[in-house]
Amino acid sequence: MSNNTETSYARIYKQSLSDPEAFWKKAAENIEWVQPFDQVLDDSDPPHFRWFVGGELNTCFNAVDVHVQNGLGDQLALVYDSAVTGNKKTFSFFELRDEVAHFAGVLAARGISKGDRVIIYMPMVPEAVVAMLACARLGAVHSVVFGGFAANELAVRIDDATPRAIVCASCGIEPGRVVEYKPLLDEAIDLATQKPECCIVLQRPAVVAAMVDGRDFDWHAEMALASPHDCVPVKATDPLYILYTSGTTGQPKGVVRDNGGHAVALKWTMENIYGVKPGEIFWAASDVGWVVGHSYIVYAPLFAGNTSILYEGKPVGTPDPGAFWRVISEHNVSVLFTAPTAFRAIKKEDPAGEHISRYDLSSLKYLFLAGERTDPDTLHWAENYLGVPVIDHWWQTETGWSIAANCMGIEAMPVREGSSSLPVPGWDLRVMSEEGEEVAPGEIGTLALKLPLPPGSFPTLWNAKERFIQSYLERFPGFYNTSDAGIIDADGYVYVMSRTDDIINVAGHRLSTGAMEEVLSDHPDVAECAVTGVADVLKGQIPLGFLVLNAGCTRSTVEISDEVVALVRKRIGPVAAFKQALVVKRLPKTRSGKVLRGTMRAIADGKEWKMPATIDDPEILTEITEALLTIGYPRSE
Ligand code: COA
Ligand code: AMP
Assess if residue 381 is contained within a domain. Answer: no
Ligand number nearest to the C-alpha of 177: 1
Task: State which of 373, 378, 396 you would mutate to test the pocket of ligand 2, scoring each by most atoms of that ligand within 8 A of its C-beta.
Answer: 396
Question: Is the confidence at residue 3, as pLDDT, over 60?
Answer: no
**CA torsion sign, 150 to 156 to 160 to 164?**
positive
Q: What is the pLDDT of residues 241-300, one digit of tens each?
A: 999 998 877 789 999 999 999 999 999 999 999 999 999 999 999 999 999 999 999 999
> What's the rounded mean pLDDT across residues 32-36?
98
- Considering the domain architecture, whether residues 264 and 210 belong to the same structural domain is answered as yes
Residue 370 CA, closest ligand 1 atom number: 48
For atom 17 of ligand 1, which residue has the closest CA? 574
Q: Is the CB of 486 under 6 A from ligand 1?
A: no
Question: Is the confidence at residue 609, as pLDDT, over 90?
Answer: no
Q: Is the CB of 575 under 6 A from ligand 1?
A: yes
- Supply the pLDDT for residue 2: 43
pLDDT, greater one: 248 or 485: 485
Domain count across the chain: 2
- Supply the pLDDT for residue 4: 54
Q: Is the CB of 179 under 6 A from ligand 1?
A: yes
- Ligand 2 center to 394 CA (angstroms): 6
| H-state helical runs in 423-464 | none
- Give the whole-number percent of the chain exceeding pLDDT 70: 99
> What's the rounded mean pLDDT across residues 458-469?
97
- Considering the domain architecture, whether residues 456 and 523 belong to the same structural domain is answered as no
Query: What band does 611 get if pLDDT is binned at 50, 70 and 90?
Result: confident
Assess if residue 388 is contained within a domain. Answer: no
> Burial of 585 by CB count in 10 Å (0-12 exposed, 13-18 middle, 19+ buried)?
exposed
Which of 281-295, 521-535, 536-550, 591-605 is predicted with the least confidence, judged by mean pLDDT? 591-605
Q: Which of 64, 342, 134, 117 is nearest to 243 (CA)?
A: 117
Assess if residue 336 is contained within a domain. Answer: no
- Considering the domain architecture, whether residues 107 and 211 belong to the same structural domain is answered as yes
Contact assessment for residue 392 and residue 420, using Cβ atoms and an 8 Å cutoff = yes
Q: What is the pLDDT of residues 133-188, one digit of tens each?
A: 999 999 999 999 999 999 999 999 999 999 999 999 999 999 999 999 999 999 99
Assess if residue 345 is contained within a domain. Answer: no
- Considering the domain architecture, whether residues 47 and 146 belong to the same structural domain is answered as yes
> What's the rounded mean pLDDT across residues 615-636?
91
- Considering the domain architecture, whether residues 122 and 197 belong to the same structural domain is answered as yes
**CA torsion sign, 565 to 519 to 191 to 255?**
negative
Residues having CB closer than 6 A to ligand 2 are 245, 291, 370-373, 392-397, 420, 484, 496, 499, 505, 510
* Residue 629 CB coordination number (10 Å): 11
Q: What is the pLDDT of residues 319-347, one digit of tens each?
A: 999 999 999 999 999 999 999 999 999 99
Task: State which of 120, 174, 318, 373 you would mutate to test the pocket of ligand 1, scoring each by most atoms of that ligand within 8 A of its C-beta.
Answer: 174
Q: Is the CB of 540 under 6 A from ligand 1?
A: no
- Supply the pLDDT for residue 614: 82
Residue 286 CA, closest ligand 1 atom number: 44
Q: How far is CA 129 from CA 132, 315, 392, 568, in A?
A: 5, 21, 26, 29
pLDDT, greater one: 609 or 536: 536
> What's the rounded mean pLDDT across residues 377-405?
97
Which of 58-62, 425-429, 472-476, 619-623 is predicted with the least confidence, judged by mean pLDDT? 619-623
- Considering the domain architecture, whether residues 132 and 224 belong to the same structural domain is answered as yes
Instruction: Sort residue 47 into left (φ over 0), alpha (ψ -120 to 50) or beta.
Output: alpha
- Considering the domain architecture, whether residues 429 and 529 belong to the same structural domain is answered as no
Assess if residue 239 is contained within a domain. Answer: yes
- Considering the domain architecture, whether residues 473 and 581 belong to the same structural domain is answered as no
Q: Is the CB of 168 under 6 A from ligand 1?
A: no
- Supply the pLDDT for residue 637: 62
- Ligand 2 center to 503 CA (angstroms): 10
Q: Is the CB of 508 under 6 A from ligand 1?
A: yes
- Considering the domain architecture, whether residues 86 and 200 belong to the same structural domain is answered as yes
Question: Is the confidence at residue 349, as pLDDT, over 70?
Answer: yes
| H-state helical runs in 294-399 | 300-303, 323-331, 340-349, 376-386
Give the angle 449-455-457 at the CA atoms, nearest 5°. 60
- Ligand 1 center to 575 CA (angstroms): 6
For atom 16 of ligand 1, which residue has the closest CA? 574
The CATH number linked to 464 is 3.40.50.12780
Q: Is the CB of 371 under 6 A from ligand 1?
A: yes
- Ligand 2 center to 372 CA (angstroms): 5
- Considering the domain architecture, whether residues 404 and 551 belong to the same structural domain is answered as no
- Ligand 1 center to 577 CA (angstroms): 9
Q: What's the DSSP call for residue 470?
A: I
- Ligand 2 center to 68 CA (angstroms): 36
Contact assessment for residue 372 and residue 396, using Cβ atoms and an 8 Å cutoff = no
- The reply to whether the predicted model has a pTM over 0.75 is yes
Residue 291 CA, closest ligand 2 atom number: 4
Task: State which of 168, 320, 575, 580 you would mutate to test the pocket of ligand 1, scoring each by most atoms of that ligand within 8 A of its C-beta.
Answer: 575
Q: Is the CB of 155 under 6 A from ligand 1?
A: no
Question: Is the confidence at residue 1, as pLDDT, over 50?
Answer: no
Q: How far is CA 525 from CA 467, 532, 571, 585, in A?
A: 33, 20, 17, 13
Residue 577 CA, closest ligand 1 atom number: 22
Query: What band does 477 get if pLDDT is binned at 50, 70 and 90?
Result: very high
Question: Is the confidence at residue 125, as pLDDT, over 90?
Answer: yes
Domain membership of residue 563 as a residue range: 507-630
Assess if residue 94 is contained within a domain. Answer: yes
Ligand number nearest to the C-alpha of 338: 1
- Ligand 1 center to 576 CA (angstroms): 9
Q: What is the pLDDT of residues 219-243, one digit of tens each?
A: 999 999 999 999 999 999 999 999 9
